[in-house]
């Protein structure tokens, strides 16, 4: 194998376990004699073009393990989406630092960067492998049963809705919780695992995989409210009308777009407030509350799936094994085998890059306002082995004396 340096970077939105992947690459890379230095790029690709590298060869195992257990990207991240000129700069830096093994932990944009940089290396006859290590709370990568980062965020969402449902049961009304997810509804759908009893909320779940119709929404809410005397709703930030226009933009005067040309959805309470106002005005329900889970759901300290931690570490170890041990480029995909176990498979970058997976039809109910049992079975093993218990009082009623 080619002697040289390893570079690892983290891109896109942070997750609760993205540092497990970082540490998985670093510790596995230490096993190979042909690895000289192990570098970490600060702030993803933007740190690569500026040559902002840390020498991770000098990190103690003890501190690496503490970092692994810490949420959010320890190397820093970036929202830059490199074009070919940007990738050329990346390649020039990699070559100058004798990087022969490049690992990029990120979503589908990051896998595309691996692909393009790998092409530059091939064209220049520079021997280098580029391996994409998947992460995303959105769970939207092709070829993967699920993606590291999603199970912990799903656990946050399920725990939040379990609590919110209990709160709403104690003080009844309508509650709207808005969850991250522009195109893929997996994270919003995870709210269903907060339910234990048949009348538990969320009573309604709205996903970006289905067209959102305000009139139908209001009928749904009224039906649930009449039945339960309360209604808990999970809505994806990405819900949109039949023309694909995000519902949140209907009230916005200025629409903020990110580097990828996407409308800014997170970091504002506008969608929850809009839906609450509709319920108050059109249905005349008084106690209506809305929360936007925002940034809490992807890096909350202490809410993490142990299964997710393990898989984030193992998928990165696999990346290092195939990249450094076998000299192969690609992306590491998680495949489910048995019930429940996983295998890590090297997959062609072009199958992941710049593509988006959404929820399959069999995970969404016919009415488009809830998930199916199949989805709950899919999700349950992922969110971890230690979900807290919850119970209700079972006691019978006491006979009335004054109001007989």
Site size toward a copy of itself, by CB under 8 A: 89
- 364-393 footprint of a copy of itself as x/- string (CB under 8 A): -----------------------xxxxxxx
37 near a copy of itself, rule: CB under 8 A: yes
Binding piece for a copy of itself, criterion CB under 8 A, among 44-52, 105-113, 239-247, 343-351: 44-52
Positions in 121-180 near a copy of itself (CB under 8 A):
158-160, 162-164, 166-167, 169-171, 175
Considering beta carbons, is residue 111 or 292 the nearer one to a copy of itself? 292
Q: What phi and psi, each to the nearest 5 degrees, are found at residue 280?
A: -60, -50
Binding piece for a copy of itself, criterion CB under 8 A, among 114-122, 300-308, 327-335, 355-363: 300-308
Are the beta carbons of 9 and 47 closer than 8 angstroms?
yes
Positions in 80-119 near a copy of itself (CB under 8 A):
92-93, 96-97
Considering beta carbons, is residue 276 or 349 the nearer one to a copy of itself? 276
Considering beta carbons, is residue 87 or 334 the nearer one to a copy of itself? 87
Q: Using N-to-C axis directions, what is the helix angle for 306-320 and 150-170, rounded to 10°?
A: 170
DSSP 147-161: -TBHHHHHHHHHHHH
Q: How far apart are CA 83 and CA 86, in angstroms?
A: 5
Q: Which of 238, 218, 208, 236 is nearest to 174 (CA)?
A: 218
What secondary structure letter does DSSP report for 387?
P
289 near a copy of itself, rule: CB under 8 A: yes
User: How big is the chain, counted in residues?
Assistant: 404
Positions in 12-31 near a copy of itself (CB under 8 A):
13-14, 16
Structural Rg of the chain based on CA atoms: 23
279 near a copy of itself, rule: CB under 8 A: no
The CB-of-72 to a copy of itself minimum distance in angstroms stands at 3
Tokens of 86: 């940007």
50 near a copy of itself, rule: CB under 8 A: yes
The CB-of-225 to a copy of itself minimum distance in angstroms stands at 16
Q: How far apart are CA 147 and CA 110, in angstroms?
A: 14
Binding piece for a copy of itself, criterion CB under 8 A, among 122-130, 271-279, 328-336, 370-378: 271-279
Binding piece for a copy of itself, criterion CB under 8 A, among 200-208, 270-278, 337-345, 360-368: 270-278
Tokens of 9: 């970077």
Angle, CA 38 vertex, CA 32 and CA 39 arms, to 5°: 160
The CB-of-161 to a copy of itself minimum distance in angstroms stands at 9
The CB-of-378 to a copy of itself minimum distance in angstroms stands at 21
Positions in 55-74 near a copy of itself (CB under 8 A):
55-60, 63, 66-67, 69-74
Clarify whether 138 is annotated catalytic. Answer: yes
What secondary structure letter does DSSP report for 322?
I
The CB-of-43 to a copy of itself minimum distance in angstroms stands at 8
HSE of 115, CA atoms in CB hemisphere, 13 A: 18
Q: How far apart are CA 32 and CA 391, in angstroms?
A: 51
Considering beta carbons, is residue 125 or 286 the nearer one to a copy of itself? 286
The CB-of-335 to a copy of itself minimum distance in angstroms stands at 29
Are the beta carbons of 146 and 334 closer than 8 angstroms?
yes
396 near a copy of itself, rule: CB under 8 A: yes
The one catalytic residue among 80, 109, 138, 200? 138
DSSP H helices in 190-305: 214-228, 270-283, 296-299
Q: Which of 335, 233, 328 is nearest to 289 (CA)?
A: 233
Considering beta carbons, is residue 73 or 278 the nearer one to a copy of itself? 73
DSSP H helices in 198-305: 214-228, 270-283, 296-299
Are the beta carbons of 139 and 150 closer than 8 angstroms?
yes
Q: How far apart are CA 56 and CA 66, in angstroms?
A: 14
Binding piece for a copy of itself, criterion CB under 8 A, among 54-62, 128-136, 305-313, 341-349: 54-62
The CB-of-36 to a copy of itself minimum distance in angstroms stands at 12
Question: Annotated catalytic sites, by residue?
Answer: 138
């Amino acid at each position: 194998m080619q002697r040289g340096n390893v570079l690892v970077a983290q891109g896109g939105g942070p997750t609760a376990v993205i540092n497990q992947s970082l540490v998985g690459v670093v510790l596995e890379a230490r096993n190979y004699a042909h690895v000289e230095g192990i570098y970490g790029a600060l702030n993803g690709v933007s740190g690569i073009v500026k040559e902002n590298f840390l020498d991770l060869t000098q990190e103690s195992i003890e501190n690496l393990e503490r970092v692994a257990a810490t949420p959010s990207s320890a190397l820093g991240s970036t929202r830059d989406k490199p074009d070919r000129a940007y990738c050329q700069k990346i390649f020039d830096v990699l070559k100058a630092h004798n990087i022969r093994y490049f690992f990029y932990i990120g979503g589908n944009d990051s896998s595309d960067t691996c692909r393009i940089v790998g092409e530059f290396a091939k064209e220049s006859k520079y021997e280098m492998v580029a391996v994409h290590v998947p992460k995303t709370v959105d769970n939207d990568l092709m070829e993967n049963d699920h993606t590291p980062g999603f199970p912990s965020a799903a656990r946050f969402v399920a725990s939040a809705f379990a609590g919110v449902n209990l709160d709403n049961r104690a003080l009844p009304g309508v509650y709207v919780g808005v969850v991250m997810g522009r195109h893929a509804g997996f994270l919003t759908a995870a709210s269903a695992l907060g339910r234990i009893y048949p009348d538990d909320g969320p009573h309604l779940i709205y996903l970006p995989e289905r067209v959102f119709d305000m009139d139908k929404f209001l009928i749904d809410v009224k039906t649930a409210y009449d039945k339960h005397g309360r209604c808990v709703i999970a809505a994806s930030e990405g819900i949109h009308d039949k023309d694909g226009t995000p519902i949140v933009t209907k009230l916005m005067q200025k629409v903020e777009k990110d580097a990828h040309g996407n409308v800014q959805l997170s970091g504002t309470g506008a969608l929850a407030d809009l839906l609450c106002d509709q319920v108050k005005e059109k249905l005349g329900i008084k106690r209506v509350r809305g929360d936007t889970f925002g940034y809490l759901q992807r890096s909350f300290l202490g809410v993490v799936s142990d299964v997710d931690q393990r898989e984030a570490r193992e998928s990165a170890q696999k990346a290092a094994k195939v990249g450094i041990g076998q000299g192969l480029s690609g992306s590491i995909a998680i495949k489910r085998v048995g019930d429940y176990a996983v295998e890590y498979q090297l997959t062609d970058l072009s199958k992941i890059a710049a593509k988006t997976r959404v929820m399959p039809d069999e995970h969404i109910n016919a009415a488009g306002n809830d998930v199916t049992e199949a989805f709950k079975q899919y999700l349950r093993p992922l969110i971890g082995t230690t979900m807290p218990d919850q119970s209700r009082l079972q006691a019978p009623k006491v006979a009335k004396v004054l109001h007989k």
